[in-house]
Structure 1
């Protein structure tokens, strides 16, 4: 980057840079984000008739495209430059004539940010996790971020090659620790060392090779136990031999694929806890809040899939005879005032499972007016520590032992997962789903002004604690970690930031850490299946949904279609400004060409202004109604505003698909986007926002289906181009439909998700055993942050609640 800046300042482009800075300064602002910088530069190029290459590929153009923030401080110009994904540099151009420039530290930039909001304080607490990266393998190539498992496997295999005898002992120690209810698995006490284990496995391979491949384990287990090998290697002779040979090959020729295959067969995860605190976790269709419904669906489906997968692994490991059963617990809070739901039941079985349960633990009653009701995700922080203490006792009683894996969900669930994992010494997985900090612009700089409403000081601190303490992190998309060349990722926003007069985060997260793993979820294939699977569809439900979408009268349905046979454009989302349904209505209203060919079908949770529960919902509802009136769309739109059971939602997608419609997800930002998967799984060609992880759900080769929700005309043109292709070549719709169905089947399914999740739990458990000294130092640092920063912030919120 030094050479690029030097080139700009040593050429005629230096004058253009000064003029651009003057143009920015004339606006009266001093802090500029990437979009503002690019727009100003584009306006300059247009005003002075610069050729197209100058904007895109001149030295100045390249520098501008790398620059994500500009801060003007006196005569100095501060540039936050991102030369590649996951990496940032701070440059300071000294004096207005831009003659000199210097590379600056992160600390210097944070001081400038504090001065910008007039909240500079020195000294200030600095949070820096960089020291704990030493000795831990990190990824070099940004393209491999999120592939932590593959990277760690390669690293471990290289270590095996360097000292086989040491690694034999490590593997022996790891496997010898495996047990279930005090029953030894894999290795018994007769085997005393790694070398002995290796020899006995060689002998066992010969013995098993003489047995019929399908012979059950029970018929030859005594011979294996005489060698010191206990149950868990497999349920048949062929399965046992394959597992033993994988161990043998791992020592002889250590390769990542062999390590992964061997570890996947190790019976090490039987009891799993999924922590999801603030959502209404229930199974009837009335449960959930708009801000948490996606998380509730995710956790329930993950629990079902985990229970099924662990049961299958127990069977294949030959542990049926020991009566080992999988146990999956969804840990959430019990809500006494549950508004007619079942959220006040302590224990509830997860439908479709044999041994997965929702365990609800109440918050302690500091103030019953607060704790007996639902509590917003922004207010929940004072109750998490005591909840974790109480939940630990309940979990141990329910499970009969410590869990093998604790998975946190969202900021509050992840903090509780940290507290439980720290106390129980259990592997911890972190799933954020959606981080609040990047969704609220400048929320860290203006945290004091926002504290009363959002309590970001507690939340951002909790995020730093849980994401660093976690043994591994799974994300649904690559962009969730490090964004794109043009945008910062959600986790990346925690790398360096200031909370003025509270602390500076100098290095908040290692984006290149091997703990990050991309493991996208699936969809419930029993509900969201392709429209052309006629045999699975319920004809009465199909008729009911058709009437709901196109003809019936209902107080919760708006609009009467003049021509119901037009191709439908469908959108399904909750009423929030981020989901931007009003933007889609405006896009449709402004395009006569779209209206000529299509009807707009939107399905939401609310329809009338009187149903709004906050100002954001009210504003969005009012805007949609006003836009419908402004563009006279009453006869070209159907707006269903009610909570629908999942089977009806699944049929909505299929009804739209059988009419060769399309699905549009017009959100301003979407971390992942479950409705996108549901629509694609049903066979609907899908247009999705390019902002956030949602863009990754659609094949890179299909970027014409990525839309910019701020560009209404451009979105309409993309949709029209697709419709023109379908009108000209009717088979085109079917080709795209089949393509999106196969994409979901091949990449986004729960079986793949849970297999990978369990493999990660086993690998990182093994890695922590090797890295325990460095990890303990990290956890002590995290403990300090928890007690000295987080707890005082949470206690302030509790003081407010006690006054209610």
Structure 2
């Protein structure tokens, strides 16, 4: 970056261009500019100055502007936050006459940012976590960020080659600690060391090679115990032999593939807690409210998959003969005023499982008028600490012991998971799904303006605590961590930022830490499956859903289609500004060609203003009605404002596919996009926002199905191009339909997710064992932030201050 800035200032044309750009931005009266504003201003300058095309894209100043994500004009200087490559931000300051440029620290940028809002505090608290990661192994190539498990496998194998005796003794120590309710697993007390273990493995392999491969473990259990091996190696002679052979090969020749295969077989996880605190968690027609629906579906499906996989692992390890069973609990809050649902039921079995349960614990009754009812996620913060303490007691009773893994969901669920994991000394997995900070522009700089409504001081502090305290982090996509070349990742936005009058985050997260792992979720393929899978479809349900989508009259359905058999454009989303249903309707309304080709069918949970639960919903509902009237979309649009059961929703996707329709996800930003998975696996060609995780789901190498939700003409043109190609080549729609369905089935499925999740749990539990001092220091720091910042602010909110 130094060379690039030097080249600009040494070139009179480019230096003048930069000066003119700064003058233009300065004339707007603003002082803080984001990337899109900077690019737009530079584009206008190039157009007005009749600069050649190369000047915008490939001149030195063009490259600088492309790299610049923030610009501040303050105190006679121009401050640039540039991002020359993914996960790497630099701060540079240019003097007013552009005679000098200096590399600056994040602290300096945060100070000048504070002064923009009259919040100059030289002694403000600085949060810097860099030292806690310095001594830990770190990923070097940004392309490998999010592949922490693979990195740790390679790292540990290299260490075992370098110092085999030391690392094998650590591996022995980890294996010898395994037990279930006092029952020793894998290694007995008669094997006192790693060296002795290696010798006994050789004897055990010789013994097992003489047994019939299908000989049940129970028949030779005593023989293995005499050699020092306890249950857990396998359920047959062949399985035990395989597992011990893997370990022997790993000792002799450490390789990542061997380590991964062996760790996958280690019986170390039996009891799992999934924390989803605020989500109105129940089943069937009460699966969450709009702000939590995706989370509730996620944890229910994850719980089913985990219980099934753990049961399989226990059986293959030969532990079912000891009466060991998996136990999975979804921990949420009990809501006394449950509005006719089961959310006031303490314990509810998860359907299609043998031993997975929803455990509901009530909030402490600080104010029953509040705590007896559902509480929005922005107001839930004061109740989480006492909830965690009460939940600890309930979990220990329910499990009759401690869990092996606690999974937090969203900011609030992860804070509870952090408190529980810390007290119980249990592995903590952090899943955010979608971090709130990047969704709201300048949410940290102007946090005090948002505080009454959103309480960002609590949320952002909770995020910092939990993402750093967690043993490992699961994300659904790469961009969730570090974004794209054009945009910051959600976690990357926590790297450095200011909360004026509260604190400065100088270094908030190590993006290169191996704790980050991409493990996308799946879909329930019993409910969501290809429309061509006729044998699994219910003709009566198909007819019912078809009538609902195209013909049925109902107070919760708006619009009659003049030509119901035109190709449908289908969209499913809550009625929020981020999900942008109003933008899709306006895009459709502005394109007469789209209206000629298609009908628009949208499914939200609400239709009428009196159903809105907050001002944002009311605005979006009214705006959508206004757009329909303004563009005279009557006869071209169906708006269903109702919650469909899962089986009905699955069939809705398939019915739209029967009509050779398409699915459009028009969100302004989408962290991942569950409905995209559902639509694609159903066989619907899918167009989705290019801002967020959908980029990785669709994997659109030819750039045909990405859309810019702020570019209505461009989106319409892209959809029409696809429809016209389908008209010209009738087989094209089916080719795309088959491709998208197979992509989801092969890459986004719960079996893959659960296999990876359990492997991560085992590996990071081992990692914490071999480097406990590094983790302990970091978590102690997080405890300090909780007690000194989070807790006092939560108490103020509870007291109405």
Instruction: Give yes or no for TM over 0.5.
Output: yes
Offset at 1:77? Answer: 0.4
Conserved 8 A contact 2:606-2:642: yes
1:764-804 CA-partner distances (Å, limit 9, x unpaired): 00000011011111111111111111111101101118xxx
**Aligned with 1:231: secondary structure?**
coil
- Specify the alignment match of 1:773 in structure 2: 773
Conserved 8 A contact 2:272-2:327: yes
Conserved 8 A contact 1:602-1:639: yes
Listed as ranges, the matches of 1:357-376 within 5 Å are 357-376=357-376
- Specify the alignment match of 2:29 in structure 1: 28
- Specify the alignment match of 1:464 in structure 2: 464
Q: Which runs of 5+ in 2 are unaligned?
A: none
- Specify the alignment match of 1:51 in structure 2: 52
**Aligned with 2:153: secondary structure?**
helix
**Aligned with 2:33: secondary structure?**
strand
Conserved 8 A contact 1:405-1:429: yes
1:360-401 CA-partner distances (Å, limit 9, x unpaired): 001111111111111111111111111111100000000011
Offset at 1:702? Answer: 4.4
Conserved 8 A contact 1:286-1:643: no
Listed as ranges, the matches of 1:158-237 within 5 Å are 158-237=158-237
**Aligned with 2:800: secondary structure?**
helix
- Specify the alignment match of 2:410 in structure 1: 410
Matched, 1:140 2:145: no
Listed as ranges, the matches of 1:359-438 within 5 Å are 359-438=359-438
**Aligned with 1:701: secondary structure?**
coil
Matched, 1:563 2:563: yes
Listed as ranges, the matches of 1:349-748 within 5 Å are 349-748=349-748
- Matches of 2:279 and 2:612, distance apart in 1: 19
1:330-387 CA-partner distances (Å, limit 9, x unpaired): 0011111111111011100000100000000011111111111111111111111111
Q: Which stretch has the larger CA shift, 699-708 or 438-447?
A: 699-708
- Matches of 2:512 and 2:103, distance apart in 1: 22
**Aligned with 2:402: secondary structure?**
coil
- Give structure 1 regions of 4+ aligned residues with deviation exceeding 2 angstroms: none
1:172-226 CA-partner distances (Å, limit 9, x unpaired): 1100110111111000011000000011001111111111222211122222111
- Specify the alignment match of 1:17 in structure 2: 18
Conserved 8 A contact 1:287-1:341: no
> Per the alignment, do residues 239 and 177 of structure 1 end up closer, same or farther by CA in structure 2, a change over 3 Å counting?
same
- Matches of 1:495 and 1:597, distance apart in 2: 47
- Specify the alignment match of 1:37 in structure 2: 38
- Matches of 1:559 and 1:375, distance apart in 2: 34
Listed as ranges, the matches of 1:242-281 within 5 Å are 242-281=242-281
TM-score under structure 2 normalisation? 0.99
1:496-554 CA-partner distances (Å, limit 9, x unpaired): 00000110000000011000000000001011010011111111110011111111211
Q: Which runs of 5+ in 1 are unaligned?
A: none
Conserved 8 A contact 1:269-1:405: yes
- Specify the alignment match of 1:754 in structure 2: 754
1:436-484 CA-partner distances (Å, limit 9, x unpaired): 1111111111111211111111111111000000000000011110110
**Aligned with 1:364: secondary structure?**
coil
- Matches of 2:417 and 2:702, distance apart in 1: 38
**How many residues of Structure 1 are paired with residues of Structure 2 in the alignment?**
800
Conserved 8 A contact 1:364-1:386: yes
- Matches of 1:287 and 1:672, distance apart in 2: 19
**Aligned with 1:459: secondary structure?**
helix
- Matches of 1:381 and 1:250, distance apart in 2: 47
1:598-645 CA-partner distances (Å, limit 9, x unpaired): 111111101112211111111111111111111111111111111111
- For the aligned residue pairs, the C-alpha RMSD in angstroms reads 0.8
Q: Which stretch has the larger CA shift, 117-126 or 100-109?
A: 117-126
Offset at 1:596? Answer: 0.8
**Aligned with 1:297: secondary structure?**
helix
Listed as ranges, the matches of 1:286-305 within 5 Å are 286-305=286-305
- Matches of 1:383 and 1:560, distance apart in 2: 47
Listed as ranges, the matches of 1:296-375 within 5 Å are 296-375=296-375
**Aligned with 1:32: secondary structure?**
strand
Q: Which stretch has the larger CA shift, 258-267 or 780-789?
A: 780-789
- Matches of 1:8 and 1:215, distance apart in 2: 76
- Matches of 2:257 and 2:700, distance apart in 1: 27
- Matches of 1:644 and 1:742, distance apart in 2: 25
Matched, 1:786 2:774: no
Offset at 1:735? Answer: 0.6
- Matches of 1:255 and 1:140, distance apart in 2: 20
- Matches of 1:18 and 1:708, distance apart in 2: 31
- Matches of 1:223 and 1:576, distance apart in 2: 64
1:123-167 CA-partner distances (Å, limit 9, x unpaired): 010001100012211111111110000001111001100111112
